[in-house]
Structure 1
Amino acid sequence: MKKQIYRRMLALAILIALLTSGAMLALRVRDGLHELSEQTSRQAAIAAAGYLAAADPDEALHAIGNSDTSRVTMISADGTVLYDSNADAATMENHSNRPEFEAARETGTGEGIRISSTLDELTCYVALRLPSGDVLRVANTTDLLVRSLIDTIPAMIVVIIIICLLSAFVSARLTEQLVRPINAIDPTKPLKTDVYDELTPLLRRLNAQNQQISLQIAALRRKQIEFDAITAGMDEGLILLDEHLSVLTCSRAARRLLDAPVAPGLPLDSFECDEAILHAAQIAQAGESTVYTLERAGNQLRLSFSPVHVDDGIRGVVMLVLDISSQYAAEQSRRMFTANVTHELKTPLTSVLGYAEMIRYGLAKPEDVPGFACRIHDEAARLLALVDDIMKLSRLDEGRGSLNFEDIDLYELAGSVCERMSDKAAKHQVRFAMHGAPCVIRGIPTMVDEVVTNLCDNAIKYNRPGGTVDIELKKTASGVTLRVANTGAAIPADSIPHIFERFYRADASRSHEVPGTGLGLSIVKHICEIHSAVISVTSESDNTVFTVQWPSDPGVMM
């Protein structure tokens, strides 16, 4: 602070000295130009009087030009140079556009200061109109003024140097006197320090801050104790890293799950860990959250790394260690289930091929061929739909991390689905009814279309002839609500908890009458989870309603 005060005081003094010198120099230039203009005016008046009084004006003009140090020029009324004491008049351009010439021709007298095109110097001009209409112009360059200014510059430099030295000395003394009482302040007991009265408010504030800091330190100690107690009881492991990836704190669960001697104060790479863990931590250190999965001591672990933002910088990394062994086992079972189902599809496909071969090689009776063909078509269509739905579920389970969300007008999309399914609705003698207004959500267009299509398709298939599929969209405080209602038979109450399970058919007696794979609502459920949307169903007599609550800004589930 002392250096800053000293530098600013010295800079202010030097700036004042420079501004004062510059102002004095500007005033000197102004006065010099004024004196030069008056001198040139006097010379012009004398030259004009001598020219007019002479018996031979041309000889008088040459005599004036040769006897005076000033430049003398005679210009005719049309601007032609008749005589110039410093140049050949025949080679000079027309002067009708010179400001002083134009002023003299109009008012009798003209003045101007500008760069001479002939001499290439700053020149003061005075022009007088003669009775004959010609204009006599006298010009003086500013070289004398410039030399005068140059002569004053050394003296001004000396004065500025003296002022700077004096300012440096005075600034140093004043700074020392100003800072001495401040340096004498005892920060732990500010009110007991003897300083000048202007610092009293500062001392009172320091004392208040000391008291507040003491209270905050005590509160932080209590929070640390609470934090240690909470993390000690957590099943999940928690590790806090500083900006250099050194361990600040580590819970017992983290040590147990990682099976490593993690201790506060040690860098992350000091204990045995995978290179991928260190790389993931470095990614979070750069400002991007990341997740890493590994197997340790027979357990499947998921490590989440998140940067800690403080003000405009990253001050550390939070590392959360989760035991996902059960989820991993469930995922493995799901994949095995999908593989087994796909494998089981080969059996009915073998039957389809058998019917086809019988027809192909003429082994089937002619009257049996239409029935065989119908069975082949129905079974192939059902199996193809089943395979397609299973693949959709597999893609939804495995491809969530790479999905891109964008703005979707749900009202416009629902209208497009209704238009696309209008023929099917007409075939089932069902009509669509839409209510609401444009509602924008964040989502994956193909998946959102799949949700609306599945819900509308079910509403048509399980409706009654002459029934209605009612689609309603409205904005809510938490997002957008989509309702798809149909007037078909109610879903049994004991089936509602299972309605979104894979291969579950609520009405087994109608499972053969109504085509489907039993995977449509499971796909809808998965898509809603990806979009952080909540789907629910209510069913009463002649009124089944599926409701999807879309959030305004969903997060992708991992």
Structure 2
Amino acid sequence: MKSFQQRLLTTILIWLGILLAGMLILIGQLFPVYEQMENKLQIWSFLALIFIVAMLFSAVIGYRIIKVQALPIENVTETALELAKGNYRARAYEFSNIGTVELSSAINVLARNLQEITAVREMEQERLKTLIENMGSALIMIDRQGSVTLFNKAFTYEFALKDKELSDKFYKEIEIPAELEAFIEHVFMLEQPAREQLKFTQGMNTRHIDVYGAPVIGKHEQWHGIVIVAHDITELKRLEGIRRDFVANVSHELRTPVTSIKGFSETLLDGAYVDQSALLSFLEIIHKESNRLEMLIQDLLELSRIEREGFQVDAQPTEMDALIETAAERIQGRLEEKNISLKLELQPVLVQGDANRLIQVMINLLINAITYSGAGTAITVRLFEKDGEAVTEVEDQGIGIAASELPRLFERFYRVDRARSRNQGGTGLGLSIVKHLIEAHHGKVEVRSEVGKGTTFTIYLPLAR
């Protein structure tokens, strides 16, 4: 910019010099004053004075020209350089000079447009980043060289990884399941979208994920890499298994008594009723199976009511020790049948609960303990307060439960020993009903067990307000 000013000033001085010379010649022709002067010194002094005046005049004129013409251009140039550096907040002064005001305005319009475009782009990038980080599915993007370029928190959480273990790493260096690595290679090889459900082991647990992979295609069909999206469906698979087991179990539980009733009734109709002893025996079996079928249907209906949305219990201040004693009286006959003793270690505790529902809970827990306990053993029921809660323990000396079976203990129709529970008339729904009723009381139920030594169920209930 300085060279431009220098060239402009030099041009002005040259033209002013030519103009001065012309003026001197004109003065010399029109006013021959110098001939009348006494000596040459006066002539040179007069010429010097004229020259100095001309120089001052040219300097003033040049400064004005530079200020009017060069400074706006210099300001516009500096603004353009700032814009090139990425500073879209820079603005040019809009001078009143007609020759440069349009240029300054155009530069400012360009700067505002670039600033708006940058703001929109930053906002879109922030939205995209927020979306990727907070999406429920795990996402990872791998470039064409196989290096990880993008991932979200869900991916690190899903596969127990840290950010430094993923950033700019080759995907084969990442500690991911072999099934997922094989899927990534499959998408890389085919360069086509693919979707699979993968099953793998993580620690002691079996995991299921629904994974989708697709190539990332840019402009002009340029291939940039692949993107993988994985969604955890472990819980869905577990619920699907429970549903499948429930359908199979309820079909089996209903079919067994119906088959017995149908078979013995057909036998009686074929003429077996003539034999008095056979008639009574068959009728007893039909009656027993009818009771079993009725009990199963009642438990199914009861569980359906409890699981219904909006189910609530009539919680009132209730004496928990009195409820346990009532439940113990109702199952006294079963205790005597198997010669099992019941020990009650009860403290007076007032809970906030529904008396009828809590009696149902205790009867189910006691019947479960009787079912899986041998003759001559003992069942102990304890009641006490701890940490502001009412704690009830039902301990037996039965067959116990393996640790692998504990997570499924409260599922519908799940039995530790199917043959024993069926022979004694169990439906497999008692513990599931217990769990739902305790949760409806805003409490919780826990179980600890050791195979061959027995099982202890512990329920926690809120104290009466």
Q: TM-score normalised by the shorter chain: which range applies?
A: 0.3 to 0.5
- By relative contact order (CA 8 Å, sep 6+), the higher-ranking structure is 2
Larger proportion of helix: 2
TM-score, length-scaled by structure 1? 0.37
TM-score, length-scaled by structure 2? 0.44
